[in-house]
Chain A
Amino acid sequence: MPTSITIEAVRAILRDRLALAADRPLGADTGLLGAGIGLDSFEVLQLVAALEERFGLTIDDDDLRPEHFRTVSTLVDFLETLLAPS
């Protein structure tokens, strides 16, 4: 059974792998792209690779749509759909 995906776990990956400061606000509604924490396309791929490793997921690069990365919360929702039985 894969580890359950929580907002806290995704935040930990953002902090560890993308060296986001511990005191920088990073809540469920924090934006990941643009005016949020401003991930560029390369950082999105780095984040995705880290999420795959942590949660045992496989994420298709074709599914990396901006709406999934709108906030930490939408990212968690997207990851959960990948775990749900099809």
Chain B
Amino acid sequence: MIADRFDRVAARQGARPTIVERGESVSYAELRRRSEAVSRCLAPFCRAPGQRVGLMVPNSAAYVAAFFGIVRLGGVVAPLNVRYRSQELAYYLEDTRAAALVAPPALIEVAREALGGVAHPPALVAIDEAAECTVVAPGDADPLGAASGDSPPLLHQYTSGSTGKPKRVIRTHAQLAFELERLTRTFAVDGDDRFLGATPFTHVNGLVRTMLTSMHVGATLYPMAEFKRREALDLITRERLTYFGGVPSMFIVLADTPVRGTVDLTSLRTVFSASAPLVPDDNRRFAAKYGVHPRQLYGSTETGTISVNVDADPTLALASVGHPLPDVRIEVVDDHGAPAAADIEGEVTIASPGAITAYDGNAEATAASFRAGFYLSGDLGRKDARGALTLTGRKKFLINRGGFKVNPLEVEEAIRAHPRVREVVVLAAPSPHGDDLVRAVIVADGACAADEIVAHCAPRIADFKIPSRIEFRDALPKTETGKILRSKL
């Protein structure tokens, strides 16, 4: 159980710092004490194990104390993005059937508004910087029955598919314990490591690969409530941080930022980029400035971490997401589900003891995405002869143009190179002949004609890939997290 593990690590590490924020350090013993206080405050709302508790707190010692405070009660943490507005928050609270919502004072107002839209509102609990909790409203939650299954649930997350409502992903203690053990072994991290907590702990990347990984090995975590360029560089330099798990936009912006004063990132032993591809050119620009190449890591909400590129020489395959973690299996399969040969593109499928085997309460989505113990990621990729994986696109949006399969990402990339194209989505439109037409929806800067787009594409991509339907819009419909809602196009 994750809480037992934390308590054991805390007992062993005692006075050593678990969190350093705003220059002050919090010991493991103190963080454990704070998490026990959170447990006492939440206990009346978590009488039976398996109760969901929404956690809408920025990266901080308070977040970590609340996380373990909930888990110690047998509760299930439902991390909620601190940027949600009240309507989005109400949807997630209703859907998770949360027993309580924990939020800092700055978010109590938006939380109150959200509770007004929930039939059985959870208790609202304010948490301050020292992780002291106050019940703001007792709520009227409709308690869930006790959880069943071999390993109790730990995390209640969502994955926003490109179509339909967000799917519920509930991961268990055993699944997370597996992932954390394999991650810490792969990165060879231990209690002497110092972690930059730059990505949000309300998202799987920051939560599992930074916060929980740091606590798993008894390391020291430096949380940033929001990402600030020079604060990140100063922290790494001054505190000789050793671990930085980021996302591509962080590495790109740091590569663009002029260095002021002393910046020295040579203490970093583990640097990885996850959640989206970091293109080799951006990787090289970051490395040219700071002397370290971010490694690409591949994971999903459904499976947790799948693979990471830890090759001795990162420059040999910057685009690769590397080999699977120990005991994780990656199969690249063709259209019939048969294994593809080395270097041949196919759909990436994953079997892992860390992965879910079904979406919660969604048989249709489960049948579409899980088969014979494997999760069908919808990602396209190829494995080289050594088994290292490189991602090449997304299968789920493939366009079938007269038997030719068109990868819309490739077409989007070609169109995006046009100087006046700001955003573009390429998708299938039904043709009168039973196959698909290639359709592009473009947000342009200034005047731009369809003819220009076609002329621009002609020397870049095969003729069957060039869109025959081109539309211009003022904006594209997006989710709160910035994913384009293809279903609304």
Contact = CB atoms under 8 A, between A and B. Distances in A.
B260 A21 contact: no
Interface stretch (A3-11, A42-50, A65-73, A77-85): A42-50
Looking at B249, B260, B445, B482, the one whose CB has the most chain A CB atoms below 10 A away is: B445
Chain B contact residues: helix, strand, loop or mixed: loop
Contacts of B422: 19
A20 B447 CA distance: 12
Nearest to B482: A40
Contacts of A23: 420, 446-447
Interface residues of B, number: 21
A49 B445 contact: no
A24 B448 CA distance: 11
Interface string B465-479: 000000000010000
B260 A58 contact: yes
Nearest to A44: B253
B228 interface: yes
Given A24-B445, A40-B482, A46 B230 contact: no
Nearest to B260: A58
Contacts, number: 50
Interface in B437-483: 444-448, 475, 482
Contacts of A45: 229, 249, 253, 256
Interface string B227-255: 01111000000000000000001001100
A28 to B, nearest CB: 18
Given A23-B446, A42-B249, A61-B228, A49 B482 contact: no
B419 interface: yes
Interface of A: 19-25, 37-38, 40, 42, 45-46, 49-50, 52-53, 58, 60-62
Given A40-B482, A45-B256, A49-B258, 8 more contacts: A23-B447, A42-B249, A49-B229, A49-B253, A53-B258, A58-B258, A61-B231, A62-B228
